[in-house]
Amino acid sequence: MKEGYIGILTSGGDASGMNATIRAITRSAICNGYKVKGIYRGYEGLINDEIRELTTEDVSNIIQRGGTILKTARSKDFETPEGRKKAYEVMQKEKIHTLFVIGGDGSLTGARIFAQEYDVPCIGLPGTIDNDLWGTDLTIGYDTALNTIVECVDKIRDTATSHERIFFVEVMGRDAGFLAQNSAIASGAEAAIIPEDQTDTDQLEEFIGRGFRKTKNSSIVIVTESPTGKGANYYAERVKREYPQYDVRVTILGHLQRGGSPSAGDRILASRLGCASIQAMMEGQRNVMIGIRNDKVVYVPFAEAIKKNKPIDKSLITVLNELSI
């Protein structure tokens, strides 16, 4: 076996497929002669030395499990120079030479700063249901979350139709509308209100005028959660105020979207990216995110993955508009 260890952590919000990623990194590393240590509770666990060696047996029977066996946490201490210094000292003590970080934008931002300050080789893997990291077509957990939303909306549709209601269904995503737009298409929803479509003609008036008032007595509108308060409840209150003749309900799916057994797509993506991350390390790559583009593995510098905004395909808006008449 080669000297030292690689370290694996999961950070930020959990995403189905993280366990499949841990399994792939661990087994690919061991297959190529490396030893592996799992870091529990993300950067917080790195600071507090919550670390133990992982074997192939430790990652058996986890590919089908949601969440993360390594646990995850958001670490305020790691945001400070003192916290990162302690994390580096623990890495030295545990003889970890390369850090593998599975997470989203915030997790990779932490890895980038850490790598710059201490010249630590870091390799990121995109684990987030939001699908908002630039440079990769898909992120681990997105496909599972998307399918969960569609399954929920299918059930809500039965009630909406039976009671002739408008349902506003709020999904995760914050500044990215990938989940809302694609779940709206897949579930046959009448509209999606997303951050990227800010024509605000506005989106609610456009939906009411185009579809519901003309031909339909029930409708589903998918809304991306909003840090500014313009989520599903905001639009539902507007309808109640501006169109009191309609019966309106709100469903906020919340953390339902994060859990559950990962889809086949997420298991395959996680396995491919996990193996590719070990290959990247052996090639001398550092401070890159492993992504997938046009079904090919790519290495994306942290600076690009984090700082560039990933655009939504605006043609999807046209597709939904045409199919919701």
Q: How far does Cα 224 stand from its chain's mean position?
A: 14
Q: Are residues 156 and 134 in the same domain?
A: no
The mean per-residue pLDDT over the stretch 140-155 comes to 97
* 156 vs 1, residue with greater confidence: 156
Tell me: do 10 and 77 sit in the same domain.
Answer: yes
* Cβ(94)–Cβ(44) below 8 Å: no
Same structural domain, 73 and 43: yes
**Does a structural domain hold residue 319?**
no
Residues 11 and 129 in one domain: yes
pLDDT at 107: 96
325 occurs within a structural domain: no
Which amino acid would we find at residue 236? Answer: A
Q: Which residues lie closer than 8 Å to 281 by C-beta, 6 or more apart? A: 6, 98, 121, 123
Q: Identify whether residues 111 and 90 lie together within a single domain.
A: yes
What is the pLDDT at residue 220? 93
Band (pLDDT 50/70/90 cuts) for residue 209 is low
Supply the angle between the helices 264-282 and 18-31 in degrees, to the nearest 10: 40
Question: Are 49 and 93 within 8 A, CB to CB?
Answer: yes
Co-location of 36 and 167 in the same domain: no
DSSP string, 131-180: ---TT-S--BTHHHHHHHHHHHHHHHHHHHHHHT-EEEEEES-TT--HHH
Tell me, yes or no, whether 63 and 191 share the same domain: no
Chain centroid to CA 35: 28
**Host domain of residue 52:** 5-141+262-307
Q: Stretch 111-133: mean pLDDT, rounded?
A: 97
Identify the pLDDT of residue 212. Answer: 57
pLDDT over 70 (residue 211) = no
Give the highest mean pLDDT range of 27-41, 198-212, 222-236: 27-41
Q: Is residue 88 within 8 Å of 43, Cβ to Cβ? A: no
Strands 51-54, 35-39: parallel, antiparallel or unpaired by DSSP?
antiparallel
| Euclidean distance between the first and the last CA atom of the chain, given in angstroms as a whole number | 62
Q: Are residues 228 and 249 in the same domain?
A: yes
Weakest-pLDDT range from 10-24, 83-97, 272-286, 311-325: 311-325
| pLDDT tens digits, 274-320 | 999 999 999 999 999 999 999 999 999 999 999 888 999 989 999 99
Task: List pLDDT tens digits, range 72-86.
Answer: 998 999 999 999 999
130, 132, 197, 266: the active-site residue: 130
Residues 325 and 211: beta-carbon distance below 8 Å: yes
Residue the block writes with tokens 């308060």: 229
Which of 21-30, 190-199, 247-256, 267-276 is predicted least confidently?
A: 190-199
Domain membership flag for residue 320? no
323 is a domain residue: no
CA 176 – CA 129 distance, rounded (Å): 10
Same domain? 135 vs 12: yes
H-state helical runs in 252-309: 264-282, 302-307
Segment 140-168 mean pLDDT: 94
Calpha distance 159→127 (Å, rounded): 33
Same domain membership, residue 136 and residue 148: no
pTM of the prediction?
0.95
120 touches 91 (CB < 8 A): yes
Classify residue 324: in a domain, yes or no.
Answer: no
- As beta bridge partners, residue 299 has 290
Domain contains 126: yes
Residue 162 banded pLDDT, cuts 50, 70, 90: confident
In total, how many domains does the chain have?
2
Give the end of a domain, one of 243, 258, 273: 258
CATH number, position 60: 3.40.50.450
Instruction: Look up 49 and say whether it is catalytic.
Output: no
What CATH number corresponds to the domain at position 219?
3.40.50.460
- 100, pLDDT greater than 70: yes
**Do residues 73 and 10 share a domain?**
yes
Same-domain check for residues 118 and 232: no
